[in-house]
Structure 1
Amino acid sequence: MIEAAADTPEPGIDAKHWDRVYETIADDAVSWFEPEPRASLEALALADISVRASLVDVGAGSSRLVEQLLDRGATDLTVVDIASSAFETSRARLGSRALKVDWVVADVTQWCPDRRFDVWHDRALFHFLTEPWQRDGYRAALRSATAGGAWMIIATFADDGPDRCSGLPVQRYDGPSLTAEFASDFVAHDVWRDEHRSPGGVIQPFTWAVMRRR
């Protein structure tokens, strides 16, 4: 099922920009491409999160995470992204298995989830939210989508990582500054640094955090 959120007059994220990215750059050529979502899978293992947990992947793009989780027996997966073109790539790759995933086209800063999830996963969306009101909108969606005991897995560029990505400025974080963004609702479980090698061979430092809702 593909669900489209209602149109909003002042989107927090530029949908046209991201559609152009996914329409003009090959899936395996974007800087954040990884053939296997190693760090995401390691984060799930760190918290001993069951593959049967309900998981929402925000800013999913055309990530391989959803198919890796399906391979492991996941049954309750939702992906959210503002670029419908990214989902076209993922759905084509999954074939009939795409029917096992809920696909939501939405700006996460203005998204109103209609259910709650055990796990909120975000690899490299939050650092694009450079304005305070965008981050406020993100946190509002996060609070609506989770309850006490839910997990959050998040990764952003580290404080010494790139200051731009895909032509846009980003907000970089170290461990303390990233966890502080969510400290009113979430307690840090694990925080670490990881390095991603882009398809072009560039090393991009990331800050990862696994947090649990109070």
Structure 2
Amino acid sequence: MAEISERDLKAHWDAAYARRAPEKLGWYEAEPIPSLQLIERSGLDRDARILIAGAGATTLVDALLERGYRNIIANDISSTALQRLKERLGARAEDIHWVEDDLTRPQTLPALEPVDLWHDRAVLHFFTEAEDRRTYFGLLRRLVRPGGFVVLAAFNLQGAERCSGLPVHRYDAPMLAEALGAEFRLLESFDHVHIMPSGEERPYVYTLFERV
């Protein structure tokens, strides 16, 4: 992200979550149905280690807990976003492993034990610099175990060119497959139109990969 420094990036997302309630933010989902469909498709047990990269205040954490998943890691660069999520979860927040860290300059994440599934919705597309993407995918390969799964959801090629005041790098399924490399096999992909709280449409591509 050439336009904004690491410290400014954290401040940007802290401000975004401080300024508006999570349900008013453009990427908010009341029900994260596409993500849940792909996670269920993986066939993982309820004790699988699931890393939600760039979790923000996602309702995916709530939905996974409700479905019996009990080994969830929530990561974000923004302490404000994670605090919003903790407040909503209440006592259930104690069941989550929280990691405040930058996916493009990770300090804590590389020390995690391998995970069974890496989930990223609406984070990767903010990494417009090649070096940031190399770091991101290097971390992903470090953490996802052989036989593990990756769910990536990003703005598709018809999607917006900016989001939350920042430029984005749009994708289709072949581009994501190329970025991951030959050791990841594409199991499923589809386009999905997200309706923002404002009523605007945001086209995404959703993908599920398995590490072979």
TM-score normalised over the length of structure 2: 0.93
Alignment of 1:113-132 (within 5 A): 113-132=111-130
Q: CA deviation at 1:45?
A: 2.0
2:39 aligned partner, one-letter code: L
User: Which segments of 5 or more consecutive residues in structure 1 lack a partner in the other structure?
Assistant: 1-9
Structure 2 CA distance for aligned equivalents of residues 50 and 115 of structure 1: 17
Could you say what secondary structure the match of 2:92 adopts?
Answer: helix
Is the deviation greater in 38-47 or in 14-23? Answer: 38-47
1:159 aligned partner, one-letter code: L
8 Å Cα contact 1:55-1:78 kept in structure 2:
yes
Which residue of the partner structure matches residue 104 of structure 2? 109
Q: CA deviation at 1:185?
A: 3.0
Q: Which runs of 4+ in 1 moved over 6 A?
A: none
Structure 1 CA distance for aligned equivalents of residues 12 and 191 of structure 2: 29
Aligned with 2:199 (options 192, 198, 201): 201
Which residue of the partner structure matches residue 85 of structure 2? 90
Matched, 1:139 2:119: no
Structure 1 CA distance for aligned equivalents of residues 204 and 8 of structure 2: 21
Is the deviation greater in 154-163 or in 45-54? Answer: 45-54
Instruction: Map Cα deviations across residues 55-98 of structure 1 (whole Å, 9 max, x no partner).
Output: 00001000011111111111110011000001111111111110
Is the deviation greater in 175-184 or in 76-85? Answer: 175-184
Instruction: Map Cα deviations across residues 10-67 of structure 1 (whole Å, 9 max, x no partner).
Output: 6398111111100112111110001111111011122223332110000100001111
Could you say what secondary structure the match of 2:120 adopts?
Answer: strand
Which residue of the partner structure matches residue 151 of structure 1? 149
State the aligned residue count.
Answer: 205
Which residue of the partner structure matches residue 48 of structure 1? 43
8 Å Cα contact 1:13-1:107 kept in structure 2:
no
Structure 1 CA distance for aligned equivalents of residues 31 and 179 of structure 2: 28
- CA-atom RMSD in angstroms: 1.4
Q: CA deviation at 1:167?
A: 0.2
Name the one with the larger helix percent: 2
Matched, 1:23 2:18: yes
Structure 2 CA distance for aligned equivalents of residues 75 and 26 of structure 1: 26
Aligned with 1:38 (options 19, 33, 37): 33
Instruction: Map Cα deviations across residues 121-163 of structure 1 (whole Å, 9 max, x no partner).
Output: 0001000000000001101111121121010000000100011
TM-score normalised over the length of structure 1: 0.92
Percent identical among aligned pairs is: 34
